[in-house]
Amino acid sequence: MQFGVFTVGDVTEDPTTGTTVSEAERIKAMVAIAVKAEEVGLDVFAQGEHHNPPFVPSSPTTQLGFIAAKTSKIILSTATTLITTNDPVKIAEDYAMLQHLADGRVDLMMGRGNTGPVYPWFGQDIRNGIGLAIENYALLRRLWREDVVDWEGKFRTPLQGFSATPRPLDGVPPFVWHGSIRSPEIAEQAAYYGDGFFHNNIFWPVSHTQRMIELYRKRFEHYGHGAADQAIVGLGGQVFMRKNSQDAVNEFRPYFDNAPVYGHGPTLEDFSRETPLTVGSPQQVIERTLTFREHFGDYQRQLFLMDHAGLPLKTVLEQLDILGEEVVPVLRKEFAAKRPAHVPDAPTHASLKAAAERARDLETIVEPAGSVEETSR
């Protein structure tokens, strides 16, 4: 199972001091968080993409490329890549490029983006969100898998004899997750391709998240990629920890009360009950996170949101220390002990490369189907 952090890259005033970091400070803070995440033993760093203030990360591959140079193990991912307003040709090229620079430590999470005005800035219309996600992703897959593409669709200029460059590292496209909070079409899309499905459950009740994940698992099986419990599921989490849980509550409350998204709304206590938000001791975070498995089945990727709402970098880095030292090692052990052997890990570049090599070996063996099965073992 993979553990990591994801960040949206918001520039938000620290409500306890009234100060707001500069864009430069925030961008460098995100780098520091990624480097720290690797240092404390996390597996994934994922960052958002936004084209409107108060967010800074408009150019994820620039930032992830920079982080790739400063790290050596951590997987670099997105949360999310805008499959609607980006040109799929540019996504294909940018992330293949990043794959080469990061030696394959790259995957992506596709998302539509829910900010209406962003669409027209990129020549699109939010009402076509689902259609764009479906058509653009279908093209993206071909660009990564076929050396020369002829293509025509509804939303983009046709392509004739086009080769996206560079080709994916080792001929293996990055693994793709599809993130959606409430669109059954996207769960269906992830299931159809046998891709991963990430539910960013941090602002949602368990009952809703369950329905989306159940749908994805059921359709994953329907499309023949494996049993429902072998589908590749990712979940979010939002935590703030101190040794004594009351200290965590006291310190985090002003950030909660003024946070973008939920600030000035429900109380910290209400929101903690209704959503996965856990503010307390490391042990409380461990216990809460373990319940995700009970609600949603064995899953492959757990990403925590640690750095929003104006929390200072110093605090975030302390949180990452606690996460890496006290929480994740226990979670790894507990989740592994409970997970049946037939539930797979999330695909990585190495596993996809090995699978592609196996598939190629099979193709070269011209034998009746029955003996191919034996040969492949």
Partner 1 sequence: MKERVIAVVTAGLTTPSSSRLLADQLAAAVKDELSGRGIESRIELIEARDHAHDLTNNLLTGFPSAELEKVLATVAGADALIVVSPTFSASYSGLFKMFFDVLDDQALAGKPVLLAATGGTERHSLVLEFALRPLFAYLKAIPVQTAVYAASTDWGPNATTLRPRITQAATELVAALQHEAPAQTVDPYDNPTPFEDLLNS
- Site residues (vs partner 1, CB under 8 A): 130-131, 134, 138, 184-185, 187-189, 191-192, 203-205, 208, 211-212, 214-215, 219, 223, 261-266, 270-271, 274
Burial of 121 (0-12, 13-18, 19+ CB in 10 A): exposed
Report CA dihedral (246, 248, 249, 253) to the nearest 10 degrees.
150
CB 166 within 8 A of CB 96: yes
Give min distance, CB of 185 to partner 1, in A.
6
The residue among 28 and 208 lying less far from partner 1, judged by its C-beta, is 208
Please report how close the Cβ of residue 322 comes to partner 1 at its closest, in angstroms. Answer: 27
- The least distance separating partner 1 from the CB of residue 135, rounded to whole angstroms, comes to 8
User: Which CB, 66 or 203, lies closer to partner 1?
Assistant: 203
**90 with 57: CB under 8 angstroms?**
no
Select 213 or 328, whichever has its Cβ closest to partner 1: 213
123 vs 265, beta carbon nearer partner 1: 265
End-to-end CA gap in the chain: 25
Q: Min. distance of Cβ 189 from partner 1 in angstroms?
A: 6
CB of 144 to partner 1, least distance (A): 18
For the chain, give me the number of helices (H) and strands (E)? 14, 12
Among all chains, which residue has been given the structure tokens 């368990």? 206
Tell me the CB-side half-sphere exposure of residue 128, using CA atoms within 13 A.
16
Q: Which of 1, 41, 43, 44 is nearest to 339 (CA)?
A: 1
Rounded CA-CA distance 157/104 in Å is 30
Nearest approach, Cβ of residue 138 and partner 1 (Å): 7
Residue nearer to partner 1 on the CB measure, 63 or 189 = 189
Residue 232: CB minimum distance to partner 1, A: 17
Q: Dihedral of the CA atoms 121, 24, 301, 225 (nearest 10)?
A: 30
Which of 188, 298 has the CB closer to partner 1?
188
CB of 60 closer than 8 Å to CB of 91: no
Nearer to partner 1, 114 or 364 (CB): 114
Shortest Å distance, C-beta 105 to partner 1: 30
**With left for phi above 0 and alpha for psi between -120 and 50, is residue 95 left, alpha or beta?**
alpha
Contact indicator for 6, 48 with CB cutoff of 8 Å = yes
Shorter beta-carbon distance to partner 1: residue 87 or 274: 274
